[in-house]
Structure 1
Amino acid sequence: MPLRVLIVDDSNFFRQRLKEMIDQHPDLSVVGTATNGREAVEQARSLRPDLVTMDFEMPEMDGITAVRHIMADRPVPILMFSSLTYEGARITLDALAAGAMDFMPKDFGEVSRNAQGLRDKLHERLLTLGRQARASASASREATRLQPARPVKKPTEKPVAREPQTPARPRGSYKLLVIGASTGGPVALTDVLVNLPATFPLPIVLVQHMPENFTRAFAERLNRQCQIQVREAQEGDTLQPGVALLAPGGKQMMLDARGGLRIVEDERMTYKPSLDITFGSAAKHYGNKVLGVVLTGMGADGREGGRMLKNAGSSIWSQDEASCVIYGMPMAVAKAGLSDKVLSLKDIGPRLVREVC
């Protein structure tokens, strides 16, 4: 059955072009459109779509308010469309915090050309979000179905031993923390970093898949919310304990032998920034002194760089499937046998404090 999509935008042109592009995929079907946030809330309630695409600036009710109402009423994956400006980034981050799952740039020129690249990217985002949501809902229904109608007293049994995980390394054995994420990452990174005290003893490097202009707004937001310092990385920055440096969007971030950062242009890589690139340079210059953490995200970025870290003797933690928005990047690392620990999102920050501080 095709995934059913509700399109929300006050531009008739944009609604029509999105509908044409979405309906070109056999596994996607537009079931309705709305011209403002209030209509979006009503349509989401009556049509019960599998996915919603959402604009921000609309009459009667803006997109963020609509996201909050929809997620409170009947949660559904929401893909925001945002301008590639600093202000657009700020608004998009607010929408993600309100419950939207992902975002794409709103480029009227690209939509007008009906560019194949945009169409393919839109299809990929919607299909990934929708299929993950369906799989999670199916698993939840199955778990409910298998629960007994009333508590059943079980005979006394010996506790089942859990699969052992790599024990904690001694304090002081790590010299650098590197965390990477993609879809769902802004919220996940926030959940992890707000747990860290201002006295956190390690330098922190952050890699979040984001376009240019978005990372500065994201770093400023994190800096306001966290006890540690967070800022967008710049060429020549040096690593400092208790300071998190966020890779700038559209570029690659690498470490050097003197504890500094290099910010470089790179047109070869799909992801800019790429966790593989940063993991690889950390392995080269820090050897077995790195703790890498892979959070929610689409794709497999981090797997090959993670392999380099593991070969150098460093450690990797990955987020578990149940707490991910998209179980892609951490799944790739775990399936490759690279994860020393697989943890729920809520446990990662506290575990960092226990094992590192």
Structure 2
Amino acid sequence: MNKIKVMIVDDSALVRQVITQAISREPSIEVIATAQDPVFAIDKLKAQWPDVFIVDIEMPRMDGLTFLKKIMAERPTPVIICSSLADKGAQVTMEALAAGAINIITKPKLNLKSFLEDSSNDIISAIKSAARANMRVVRSMTGAARSPLAVAPKQSADAMLASTPHQGARMYGTTDRVVAIGTSTGGTQALEAVLSRLPAVTTGIVIVQHMPEKFTAMFAERLNGLCAMEIREARDGDRVHPGLALIAPGGRHMMLRRNGAQYLVEVRDGPLVNRHKPSVDVLFRSVAQVAGRNALGIIMTGMGDDGARGLKEMRDAGATTIGEDESTCVVYGMPKEAFKLGGVGRELPLDQIPREIVGFGS
């Protein structure tokens, strides 16, 4: 089996060193080159082209966003953005995701070495996910651990919400409908493609997109400027109503609740579920229990299986369920696992999903 070849482009020697050391412990990945800025990287690309790039945003001579666009124009290749947690970094990272970046590695200003060492499992997972990305789909949508290998226990949605499969059947005292969407790798582009095609008055939507803190607010703000619907990061107690889409904040779980005949969201902390926070499974389970057949569940592109069990619970509770078809997925992981479990009622390509959302609410 061929190793995944990685190039690291970052002006911090410490970042290059620590990420290289983390990768060296993973036998399926190798670093073939590092560079302190994109100009040096371009010279090294003449000898060998990687399978995955890890690219800093702020660098001398050429910034990471410009370099990303050059890669996408010349030879589309998965790019993971290594971004600061600062607000400025978050804004530029949103532009990078829109331009075709696959994933984000965040880094703080302080205690960088310790943070990167502790995050080595996440870095390795991000690289493996990026290496599986369907760049044809990406291009079509963009127009262009101290013990590094120790795996954290994989919590289920039980950690946040007990399974009560038949509860929803007793709670249909409303005709209000709700759409729940879960996605991960490639989801920023997929959500833009779906939400930007919906009319202003569309059934209320709740969304989990795997994304770090700070970035979800910037992502929601960006989508809000592109869409007819109002899109914003969810706050605890927000009511779900037509014309509004709520995105779960990074670092917090989001669950659907009922207040009389109205839906609202509960946003709170908790353990990682399926190694994610927010988790799609947590959202989908809550929707199954609270909305049942009044809900539409959609699982789209993403690595892993978060959301697969929750979508099955939604379908068992009477909800309509859709999985994104492999042909349009950047990574056909989450929809595939949901399909295998029997949670997907129908598989549809991305361009047909907006029509289904509109039809569900009419």
Q: Same fold (TM over 0.5)?
A: yes
In the TM superposition, 1:45-64 aligns within 5 A as 45-64=46-65
* Cα contact 2:132–2:331 (8 A) shared by 1: no
Q: In structure 2, how many angstroms separate the alpha carbons of the residues matched to 1:322 and 1:44? A: 30
Find out whether 1:346 has 2:346 as its counterpart.
no
Find out whether 1:265 has 2:266 as its counterpart.
no
Which digits, 9 at most, give the CA deviation of each residue in 1:271-311, with x for residues without a partner?
A: 21111111111111112110011011121111121122111
Residue 109 of structure 1, CA deviation: 5.6
Q: In structure 2, how many angstroms separate the alpha carbons of the residues matched to 1:134 and 1:87? A: 27
Which digits, 9 at most, give the CA deviation of each residue in 1:308-338, with x for residues without a partner?
A: 2111110111112222122211111111121
* Cα contact 1:77–1:130 (8 A) shared by 2: yes
Q: TM-score, normalised by structure 1?
A: 0.84
Q: In structure 2, how many angstroms separate the alpha carbons of the residues matched to 1:44 and 1:354? A: 48
Q: Which residue of 1 aligns with 2:310?
A: 305
Letter aligned with residue 305 of structure 2: A
SS at structure 1 position matched to 2:293: coil
In the TM superposition, 1:328-339 aligns within 5 A as 328-339=333-344
2:331 to 314, 319, 326: 326
In the TM superposition, 1:154-169 aligns within 5 A as none
SS at structure 2 position matched to 1:105: strand
1:275 to 265, 271, 280: 280
Letter aligned with residue 279 of structure 2: S
Find out whether 1:87 has 2:88 as its counterpart.
yes
Q: In structure 2, how many angstroms separate the alpha carbons of the residues matched to 1:72 and 1:297? A: 24
Q: In structure 1, how many angstroms separate the alpha carbons of the residues matched to 2:117 and 2:27? A: 16
SS at structure 1 position matched to 2:59: coil
Letter aligned with residue 336 of structure 1: L
Fraction of identical pairs, as percent: 38
* Cα contact 1:17–1:111 (8 A) shared by 2: no
Letter aligned with residue 181 of structure 2: I
Letter aligned with residue 12 of structure 2: S
**More divergent stretch after superposition (271-280 vs 223-232):** 271-280
* Cα contact 2:321–2:346 (8 A) shared by 1: yes
Residue 41 of structure 1, CA deviation: 3.6
Q: Which residue of 1 aligns with 2:144?
A: none
In the TM superposition, 1:39-188 aligns within 5 A as 39-107=40-108, 112-113=113-114, 117-132=118-133, 175-188=177-190
Q: Which residue of 1 aligns with 2:227?
A: 226
Residue 240 of structure 1, CA deviation: 1.1
Which digits, 9 at most, give the CA deviation of each residue in 1:177-220, with x for residues without a partner?
A: 111111111111111100001122x1111111112211111111
Q: In structure 1, how many angstroms separate the alpha carbons of the residues matched to 2:115 and 2:289? A: 43
Letter aligned with residue 270 of structure 2: D
* Cα contact 1:44–1:70 (8 A) shared by 2: no
SS at structure 1 position matched to 2:258: coil
CA root-mean-square deviation: 2.3
Residue 222 of structure 1, CA deviation: 0.7
Residue 131 of structure 1, CA deviation: 4.1
Letter aligned with residue 238 of structure 1: R
Unpaired segments ≥5 residues, structure 1: 137-171
Q: Which residue of 2 aligns with 1:30?
A: 31
SS at structure 2 position matched to 1:260: strand
Residue 354 of structure 1, CA deviation: 4.5
Q: In structure 1, how many angstroms separate the alpha carbons of the residues matched to 2:220 and 2:334? A: 22
SS at structure 1 position matched to 2:217: helix
The higher radius of gyration belongs to: 1
Letter aligned with residue 193 of structure 2: D
Letter aligned with residue 264 of structure 1: R
Q: TM-score, normalised by structure 2?
A: 0.83
Q: In structure 1, how many angstroms separate the alpha carbons of the residues matched to 2:116 and 2:61? A: 31
Unpaired segments ≥5 residues, structure 2: 138-173
